[in-house]
Amino acid sequence: MCGIVGYVGHQSAGPILLEGLQRLEYRGYDSSGIAVLDRDGSLAVLKRQGKLRDLEAAIVAMPSGGAGIGHTRWATHGVPSDRNAHPHASSSGDVIVVQNGIVENYRSLKAELEQTLAAQGRSWLSDTDTEVIPELIARELARGQMFEEALQAAIARLRGANAIAAFHRADPTRIYAARKGSAGGMVIGYGDGEMFLASDLPALLPHTTDVYHLEDGEIAVIDSQGALIHRADRPRHRPEPRQVDLDPVAVARGPYRHFMLKEIFEQPRALSDTIRGRARLDPPSALADEFEISDATLRSVERVLVIGMGTSLHAAMIGRWWIEQIAGIPADFDNASEFRFRAPVIGPATLVVSVTQSGETIDTLGAMDHVRDRWGAPQIVVTNVEGSEATRKADASILMRCGPEVGVASTKTFLGSLAALYLLACRIGKARGSLGDADLGEALEQLLTSPSLVERGLALSDQCNEIARSYTGSTNFLVLGRGIEHPLAMEAALKCKEISYVHAEGYAAGEMKHGPIALLDQQFPVIALATRGPLFDKMMSAIQQVSARRAPVIAVGDEGDDELAGLVDHYIGVPPASDLLTPFALTPVIQLLAYHIALARGLDIDQPRNLAKTVTVE
């Protein structure tokens, strides 16, 4: 979703802002812009619809000023266009602003500000909600406020969640940042005589690893020497930067053609890192050291609810399955965006587990608030981002250790979430006594083999490529699975939609006869997930029924399964795994199939159209 960058210091701001925006491209955007202020007060604002290369091409001479802000926009209010791209200026041209989030009450604010604009013979310059912000700030400044006070007053008038960067044309030595609610992160980076700002760490890493994460309700006044934090309820302070141990190389693409492919291949390492030190065998224990939720709480809950969105929802579905199987406690899953607007009856004895790779998804955060406000139930978050908003809302966090994920379509964080949920299921089972030491040891020993299962799955990339090429022209796919393979069928279909733009549906195979079968013919390929689990025979019947309608079948089953191979058009054999570990065996293949279909169709795999990595707006 939208990205923000900022700079103030001794270097030329333009190239630094552009490079920062390039590093945020993965978040998804449809237009971009920068505003740079020279020490002599001259201002350059450049905005373009389309990719950053369009913005770069539009720059005749790179503005050299020592302060500036930049933005990649993902349209919400107003179509993607040059005029709607950020930065936006006040009608006086003095106050320059970029924003992530939504000004929910922008209509009434526009109506309120319009009279003043009309009196000055001016009108709005864009169709965006953001444009009210510089105008509100300018109005406060005209009343004699300092910039930070004017910003604070303007923010107090906004409804919704907003992350803002701004500056005033008359002051080339300062930029300002503010955060209200959950509109994605805002990180300040400390350099030597220069300061950086970005909505996400990857944009800062080439410059510094000393950072401060702006908190909800804070405003930062940033000059080349540091940052001063203001908030309504506390004295001003200069925060201590924290050092992040992220390797800048981890966010480079290396020899891979796409970040998505790189991240698919990083999965064995992401898994071992996530499991490391958390699955002990002698004596058996899971997540023993890091938990802020006590065994007594885990014993007292009567039910577990796992929530998430997108790929994280599919991880939640598998997590639910493991929690039931391993910990033997009632468990359910829910879509966070539906859950938060229902009146779900969960009770305080439900443990709520939110899965969110970014820790910033607005619906998941909304669901967490709902749980806290309505039920006060204990909450755990599974996330890849330390310090994210979700970690602040939860009672305990289980951090995946996947490293930054740049591809918009989640891959390694899917398996990272799964490892964390599996460990949690083990921990709950042990705390409740439903899982004896021997069974716990056995379950953990299995989990420890997951990186090598995934490694073997990755070796099937060429075969996936070959099969994908036979289906480049297909515009529909049905993906079938049963039991723990059903959420994987849904994840496979989601990956196809996200990056290949083909219509794909993931279905529980038992449902096929209740509708989808009517679609099937020779042009409608079916991907069947059919490892030799307890429901294998039922999957075989479903495949027979598909073949009888002449629909081509691509089956993913156990290595060496000749019976299955003989029945279908294409067969991919994955390493045999226990019922519990099936997701680790199947995931690389479903990801690689979608990747190679998209590749054969020549699509923009890392930045699929209309999608965003972190969805911070409703």
Nearer to ligand G6P, 72 or 356 (CB): 356
**For residues 562-591, which are near ligand G6P according to CB under 6 A?**
none
Q: Cα-flanking dihedrals φ and ψ of residue 214, to 5°?
A: -65, 135
Find the binder of ligand G6P among 99, 128, 410, 450 (CB under 6 A). 410
Least Å from the CB of residue 251 to ligand G6P: 17
- Count CB-CB contacts under 10 A for residue 394: 25
Q: Which residue in this structure is represented by tokens 């955007």?
A: 29
Q: Round to whole Å and give the CA distance between 488 and 485.
A: 5
Q: Is 337 in the site for ligand G6P (CB under 6 A)?
A: no
Nearer to ligand G6P, 310 or 429 (CB): 310
**What's at 454, amino acid-wise?**
V
Contact between residue 352 and residue 529 where contact means Cβ atoms under 8 Å apart: no
Say whether 2 is catalytic. yes
**For residues 428-467, which are near ligand G6P according to CB under 6 A?**
none
Contact between residue 536 and residue 492 where contact means Cβ atoms under 8 Å apart: no
The contacts of residue 567 (CB under 8 Å, 6+ apart) are 540, 543, 544, 547, 553, 555
Nearer to ligand G6P, 136 or 368 (CB): 368
Nearer to ligand G6P, 410 or 446 (CB): 410
- Closest-approach residue to ligand G6P (CB): 310
Contact between residue 201 and residue 211 where contact means Cβ atoms under 8 Å apart: yes
* Catalytic residue (choose from 47, 180, 393, 613): 613
> Contact region for ligand G6P (CB under 6 A) — 31-39, 138-146, 325-333, 351-359?
351-359
Q: Round to whole Å and give the CA distance between 406 and 254.
A: 13
Least Å from the CB of residue 498 to ligand G6P: 7
Least Å from the CB of residue 613 to ligand G6P: 5
* Catalytic residue (choose from 2, 426, 464, 496): 2
Nearer to ligand G6P, 413 or 474 (CB): 413
Nearer to ligand G6P, 207 or 258 (CB): 258
Q: Is 613 in the site for ligand G6P (CB under 6 A)?
A: yes
Nearer to ligand G6P, 22 or 614 (CB): 614
Size of site (CB under 6 A) for ligand G6P: 16
Question: Pattern of binders to ligand G6P over 380-399, x per CB under 6 A?
Answer: --------------------
Nearer to ligand G6P, 421 or 615 (CB): 615
Least Å from the CB of residue 292 to ligand G6P: 21
**Number of residues written out for the chain:** 618
Q: Is 618 in the site for ligand G6P (CB under 6 A)?
A: no
Contact between residue 604 and residue 595 where contact means Cβ atoms under 8 Å apart: no
CA atoms lying within 13 Å on the CB side of residue 363: 19
Tell me whether residue 518 is exposed, middle or buried, using C-beta atoms within 10 angstroms of its C-beta: 0 to 12, 13 to 18, 19 or more: exposed
Contact between residue 123 and residue 115 where contact means Cβ atoms under 8 Å apart: no
Find the binder of ligand G6P among 102, 136, 323, 408 (CB under 6 A). 408
Q: Is 611 in the site for ligand G6P (CB under 6 A)?
A: yes
What Rg, from alpha-carbon coordinates, does the chain have?
A: 26
> What are residue 32's DSSP bridge partners?
48, 72
Q: Cα-flanking dihedrals φ and ψ of residue 110, to 5°?
A: -60, -45
Helices 267-275, 582-600: axis angle to 10 degrees equals: 150
The contacts of residue 57 (CB under 8 Å, 6+ apart) are none
> Contact region for ligand G6P (CB under 6 A) — 59-67, 103-111, 406-414, 598-606?
406-414
**For residues 356-375, which are near ligand G6P according to CB under 6 A?**
356-358, 361, 364
Say whether 47 is catalytic. no
Q: Round to whole Å and give the CA distance between 490 and 497.
A: 11
Find the binder of ligand G6P among 89, 138, 219, 409 (CB under 6 A). 409
Question: Pattern of binders to ligand G6P over 305-334, x per CB under 6 A?
Answer: ----xxxx----------------------
Contact between residue 127 and residue 84 where contact means Cβ atoms under 8 Å apart: yes
Least Å from the CB of residue 528 to ligand G6P: 24
Question: Pattern of binders to ligand G6P over 269-308, x per CB under 6 A?
Answer: ----------------------------------------
CA angle 350, 354, 358 (to 5 degrees): 165
Least Å from the CB of residue 99 to ligand G6P: 20
Q: Cα-flanking dihedrals φ and ψ of residue 229, to 5°?
A: -100, 130
Least Å from the CB of residue 417 to ligand G6P: 8
Cα–Cα distances in angstroms (integers) from residue 603 to residues 348, 410, 595, 608, in the given order: 47, 17, 10, 8
Task: Strands of 509-565 (E only): list them.
Answer: 526-530, 553-558
Nearer to ligand G6P, 198 or 431 (CB): 198
Q: Is 615 in the site for ligand G6P (CB under 6 A)?
A: yes
Question: Which residues are designated catalytic?
Answer: 2, 613
Residue ranges that bind ligand G6P, judged by CB under 6 A: 309-312, 356-358, 361, 364, 408-410, 611, 613-615
